[in-house]
Amino acid sequence: MAKRDRTASRTAFVTLRDLPGTRLMFWVVSECPYCAGQHLHPAGNLRTADPGERLGEQPAPCDPSRTYELSLAPRPKKKSGKNERRRARREGKVRDWDDEV
Ligand SMILES: [Zn+2]
C-alpha cells in the first residue's frame, strides 16, 4: 500500500449518479468532511469509463489545499436516511436526477 498521510486526507463517502440525457457519471459527495457540503466529481462516460478508477484521493473542491479520499458509501444503517431524502426532495432541496429522464 502506498504511504498515507493521515492528517492530510479524510474519507468522503460517495454515491454514483448519472446525468439524465447524457452518458456522464458523477461521484456525488453528499457530505464533505471539510465543509459538510455536496460536491460532484466527474466519473467519466457510462460506456467507456470505469468510475472506480476515479475513487481514491482527490482534491477537495472547497479547499484546493486539501484532499479527501473518495470511498463508496457503506449501506445506511440509520433509518433516518431515506426519510430525510424524501423530505428534502418534497421541499425541493434535492433534485433526484433519476426522476427526470
Ligand atoms: Zn467541501
Neighbour-count burial of 26, counting CB atoms closer than 10 A to its CB (0-12 exposed, 13-18 middle, 19+ buried):
buried
pLDDT of residue 98: 59
Cα of 64 to ligand 1 centre, how many Å?
Answer: 10
Residue from 59, 66, 62, 63 nearest 38 by CA: 62
Q: Where are the domains of the chain?
A: 9-100
Residue 81 has pLDDT above 80, yes or no: no
Cell 460517495, residue? Answer: 14
Residue 93 has pLDDT above 80, yes or no: no
Cα of 34 to ligand 1 centre, how many Å?
Answer: 5
Which pLDDT band holds residue 91 (cuts at 50, 70, 90)?
low
Alpha carbon 74 to chain centroid distance?
12
% of the chain exceeding 90 in pLDDT? 54
Which pLDDT band holds residue 2 (cuts at 50, 70, 90)?
low
Cell of 62: 472547497
5-50: per-residue pLDDT in tens? Answer: 556 689 999 999 998 899 999 999 999 999 999 999 999 998 998 9
Tell if the pTM clears 0.75, that is, is over it.
Answer: no
Residue from 19, 13, 12, 14 nearest 96 by CA: 19
Cα of 79 to ligand 1 centre, how many Å?
Answer: 25
Residue 82 has pLDDT above 70, yes or no: no
Q: Are 44 and 25 in contact (CB under 8 A)?
A: yes
Protein residues near ligand 1, an ion, with CB under 5 A: 32, 34-35, 37, 62
Q: Which are the contacts of 43, defined by CB distance < 8 A and separation ≥ 6?
A: 16, 24, 25, 26, 27, 49, 51, 54
Strand, helix or coil for residue 86: helix
Cα of 65 to ligand 1 centre, how many Å?
Answer: 11
pLDDT of residue 84: 66
